Structure 1
Amino acid sequence: MQDQPIRDKQSIQQLYNAILPALAQHVHQNLAAVIPLFDNFNLERMVDTWTKDPAADSAVEISIENGNVQQLGLRIRLEGFQKAGAETFDITKDLVFKLDRSSYTVGPGKGDSWPEKEYFSRWDKAEYETLAERWSEELIDDITQRLENLAS
């Protein structure tokens, strides 16, 4: 009998089909003022089907269906910054869910992780808002840095 939920097809599907879309809604709301500054906006779910679990059978394809995905998350892409006097640019940012055996971490993917949660644990509204706000602030900081670099 297992005490802790583990990474499997159901736990990954729950993250992909329930948690990521809800988190994306909060991110979209946080970026409502930034989105009109760009020609194109795309916020999508992503699944890493390249990274193999070192302990897994190498003959098994990496997929949500096989329950052996190591990472999934959200990717935002803002294209064609439009501001008078500024050079146009695009920006992309990922929010990565790193899936361990009995828990997962969430972060911007640079080895930096924020919360750690067990599979099937509930997310409350404050957790969605905090994470969406933190990721949105990082994106806005990246945009600001890009504008400062263009100005100098």
Structure 2
Amino acid sequence: MDEQSTRNKQTTLQLYNTVLPAMAEHIHRNITPVLPLFHDFKLERLIDTWTKDPAADPDESVSVENGNVQQLGLKLRLEGFQRAGAEAFDISKDLLFKLEHHSYTVGPNKNDSWLEKEYHQKWEKSEYETIAEKWSEELIEELTQRLEKLS
């Protein structure tokens, strides 16, 4: 197995520094019509340094440098929904990359996977668009449900 086919520092940094920013651009484009409804928004990258691999050395810390990060992703926070007559609210939504030893999955949480890729596989534009579209549709559905409850 070569270095690009397993989870390690290089493959984790590739996802964090290249794939996540590109995914964030696609998501931002998809949610631009919703953004004016809120006072503020944040879309940021995350690295989970808390979750340990059950098979790992218990004394080894979880870090990108050690190549043993289990999860990374994007977090969106829409703050202060603004509409006359409606109570303000915030919405938070994640896109999670769950990193296994030879591959990773992408989905809205730990349990749902929309795509599985091996570390050496390049991302196609259509994959970015499909994930961003699906994620944005879920966000709009959640927003719609929140508004229906307020009505």
Query: Segments of 4+ in structure 1 off by > 4 A?
Result: 1-4
8 Å Cα contact 1:38/1:78 also seen in 2: yes
Change (3 A) 1:30 1:7: same
* Alignment of structure 1 residues 43-62 onto 2, 5 Å: 43-62=43-62
Q: Please give the alpha-carbon distance, in whole angstroms, between the structure 1 residues aligned to 2:15 and 2:126.
A: 17
5 Å matches for 1:3-152?
5-109=5-109, 111-151=111-151
1:106 deviation in Å? 0.4
Q: 1:32 and 1:95 mapped to 2: Cα distance?
A: 17
For 2:85, what is the secondary structure of its paired residue?
Answer: coil
Q: Once the 2 structures are TM-superposed, how far is the Cα of residue 85 of structure 1 from its aligned partner?
A: 1.6
For 2:124, give the aligned amino acid.
D
Using structure 1 for the length normalisation, give the TM-score: 0.95
Gaps of 5+ in 2: none
Deviation for aligned residue 1:96: 0.4
Q: 1:51 to 1:110 in 2, by over 3 A?
A: closer
Q: State the Cα distance separating 1:120 from its structure 2 match.
A: 2.6
Once the 2 structures are TM-superposed, how far is the Cα of residue 132 of structure 1 from its aligned partner?
Answer: 0.4
With over 3 angstroms needed to count, the CA separation of the structure-2 counterparts of 1:55 and 1:110, relative to structure 1, is closer
The number of equivalent residue pairs is: 151
Percent identity of paired positions between Structure 1 and Structure 2: 65
Tell me the amino acid that sits aligned with residue 45 of structure 1.
Answer: R
Displacement of 1:124 in angstroms is 1.1
Structure 1: 5+ residue runs without aligned partners? none
Structure 2: which amino acid aligns with 1:132?
A
Q: Secondary structure at the match of 1:50?
A: coil
Say if 1:4 and 1:19 are closer, same or farther in 2 by CA, change over 3 A: closer
